[in-house]
Every structure is written in C-alpha cells, then in structure tokens.
Chain A
Amino acid sequence: MRAKLSISSCFEELSRLRTFVRDFCIDKIQGPHDEETIWKLELAAHEAAANVIEHAYDGHKEQRLVIEIELTGAQQILLKIFHFGKPFSPPAGPSSCVENLQNRGYGLTLLRESMDEVKYLQDEKGENCIYLLKNLST
C-alpha cells in the first residue's frame, strides 16, 4: 500500500504534506500506538522536507519535492522524500544541546528521536532521497 505526493519547495506546502501523511496513516494503521506514531511520522516528514527546502534548495520556491509513503509487509511505515537539491550529510558529533538555548539545530534531533531509521541517499542520476522508517510495533 503506497501513496505519492508532489509539492513545491515552499514552507506553506508543508501543512499539505502533514495532512497527506496523517490521512494515509489513519487509513492504514490500526492498533494501540496510533496517535503517537502518526504525529511522529507527520513531524519527521515535515522536518525532513523543511530541511530540503531551506538547505538543499536554498529556499528557492520553484523546485519540487516528491514524497512517497508506504506500509510495508513487515508492518513498517516507509517515507521517502526525493529531491534534486544539494545532497546532505548529517554532521558527526552530538546533537544540538537545548540547554545552550540555540535558535536552530533541533531538526536533526527531532528526526532521529521520532524515526527508527534515517538515511540520506543519492542515486547515480543525482536524485537525493531522505529515507525515514518507522516500525509500527515500537
């Protein structure tokens, strides 16, 4: 079971992305961890796409992101965010420390804390993919 969405690279589109993820999950996920799992998936999709818009596309609004969401046979939700912007390599080292009262830098922490697996991939054609996996049993 799979669905696909294409959005333009502007922050105003992110509410449509969250609705897309929520609607898919409400339709497909059944069980006691529903609401928490759904909002974590919404949040992760939002954060990953926001990073693409801001950093991969430098805020240019005329670019595209394609999002695929899938319920796998292994009871996982797989979210893939495809883009042709600048590739990203997550920095090594500790996450941003909230006690330092930084303005920014919490997005990677939110991604890692809400998903079971986060990968940044690129194919031979230069298309980038942010791969987010959530096990429905956790």
Chain B
Amino acid sequence: MEFKVEPAGDVAVIVIPAETLEMKNIQDFKDNIVSHLEGHKKIVFDLGRLNFIDSSGCGSLSFCMRTMKEKEDGSNIYLCCANNQVSATFRLIRLNRVFDIFETRDDAINAFTN
C-alpha cells in the first residue's frame, strides 16, 4: 500500500488509498505507514476513499495513534472525511474518544495550527 503525503505547512496529510481497511490488508497498511508515523509530528489521515472499516482496521488506527504517543513529543493524528458508515463504526467502539475526527481536511489542518 503506497501513501500519498500532501504537506500543509508542518502538517502531513496522508490519504488512505484503500477502499476498505480490514483483515486482508491491515498488515500491508501497518508495514507501510510506520515510516510516515516516524517522520512526522502532525498527521491528518484523509479517509475519504474508505467505504468500509472493520475491527482490525480500527485496531490499526489505534496502533498508529499509540505509535505517535510513544514518541512523547506531542505527536498526534487527526482523522477527516470519514463517510457515514465509517463514522458510525468508530462510534460503535467509541474510537471518537481517542481520535479527533473532522468532517473536512481543512478543519483537521486548522485544528493543528490553531
């Protein structure tokens, strides 16, 4: 899985390229996202292409957040552009308690800079 990184000042906007994040591709996701987590302090995951996420996909997002927190330098990830189903899945497991989730990319970027 290749990630497109779009810089917005010191914020790295990473577009999740897959339509689903689930058991069949989460290892590919985790293997390839790690270098981006290490290389940036402020990350926005753009979930606009995602139309399905399962529990393992939610777990892989938790993995990303934990990786950032373990750096202990204020690193953080915001999420944006999740569709109704993906957002509802996050609410079912209360992932919205650990991630700030924004409707638009600009809202997420502005939240970092404000």
Q: Which residues of A contact B (CB under 8 A)?
A: 11-12, 14-15, 18, 35-36, 39, 42-43, 46-47, 50, 53-54, 96, 98-99, 101-107, 109-110, 113-114
Contacts and interface: CB of A to CB of B under 8 A. Distances in A.
Interface centre among B23, B24, B92, B95 (most CB of A within 10 A): B23
Nearest to A102: B62
Contact of B59 (A43, A46, A54, A105): A105
A6 B20 CA distance: 22
Top 8 nearest A-B pairs (CB, nearest first) are A11-B24, A107-B55, A106-B55, A101-B66, A11-B23, A113-B92, A103-B59, A101-B62
Contact of B54 (A35, A36, A47, A98): A47
Task: Give the interface size bracket for B toward A.
Answer: 20 to 34
A103 B69 CA distance: 14
B56 interface: yes
Interface in B65-114: 65-66, 69, 84-85, 88-89, 92-95, 97-98
B77 to A, nearest CB: 11
A95 to B, nearest CB: 8
Contacts of A110: 54-55, 89, 92-93
A113 B92 CA distance: 6
